[in-house]
Amino acid sequence: MRVSVAERSSDIRASKVRSMLATLALRAGRAVSHMELVDELWCGSALGNPRNALQAQATRVRKVLEAHTPMHRTTVLRAVPNGYLLDVPAECVDANRFLDLASRGGAALTTDPERAARMLESGLRLWRGPALFDAGEGLRCASAATLFEERRLTAWEDLVSARLVLGHNAQVIAELQQLVAQHPLHERFCELLMLALYRSGRQSEALERFRLTRKRLDEQLGIQPGAGLQRRHAEILAQDPALAQPGALWNGRREPLATSA
């Protein structure tokens, strides 16, 4: 968690302040009830006077925010009936900006891959580490962190796909190898790496990648590769000419790019 205004940025040291600010930021512009905030900050622990404890944390949050707020503006943390509200536009929260860029980038992938790549790159540049890793152990922040991490993987899939559509096959191999190393059970990264290797004239390496992934899936999860990965393996074995076409990337996920005769 970090608060930034213009070029000034600072971390937040107090853990409960981070948790409260994170919970409010996830619903920027909307009220969060006292009960929800207490549950998030204290995770079901018994409190003698939860309302007073929450007010104390709200005061600390205000001090953090007011240090970054222009003098002419009232505090962005507002008390509302039965709760609090972080009075900032949703796009002021990096997490929301990322979700918006990832969504628009993914939607543009099949029609304008260059624009899609720019938006996806912009969204992924907002990341500085694991989502909400210092926001406490509350259920709401933990659930949001899981969502953001899943969307980050999808954004990487889409960004690599855009680059492959643009013909950057050899350039994305190193990037995909790193993603596969970080997420060895993520089949889509393996599938994209196999395609990039094959298109770069490295068929044997593509097949070996499938073998290693199948072995890891069997040893760690006791399962076989999914239909998409198995289909990619069969296409590479057969040297299917369709692998050179943009439509090979979607694998049934999206409509392929229109191509002229």
Q: pLDDT category, 84, cuts 50, 70, 90?
A: very high
Q: Report d(CA 140, CA 120) in Å as an integer.
A: 26
pLDDT on residue 249: 86
Q: Which residue reads 């191509």 in tokens?
A: 259
pTM of the model: 0.87
pLDDT on residue 41: 93
The DSSP letter of residue 31 is E
One-letter amino acid of 162: A
Q: What are the Cα distances from residue 70, in Å, to 4, 65, 67, 73?
A: 12, 10, 8, 6
Contact 145, 26 (CB under 8 A): no
User: Which stretch of 1-10, 24-33, 38-47 has the lowest confidence by average pLDDT?
Assistant: 1-10
Q: pLDDT category, 73, cuts 50, 70, 90?
A: low
pLDDT on residue 2: 84
pLDDT on residue 63: 87
Higher pLDDT, 103 or 245: 103
Model confidence pLDDT, tens digit, residues 218-254: 999 999 999 999 999 999 999 999 999 888 887 545 4
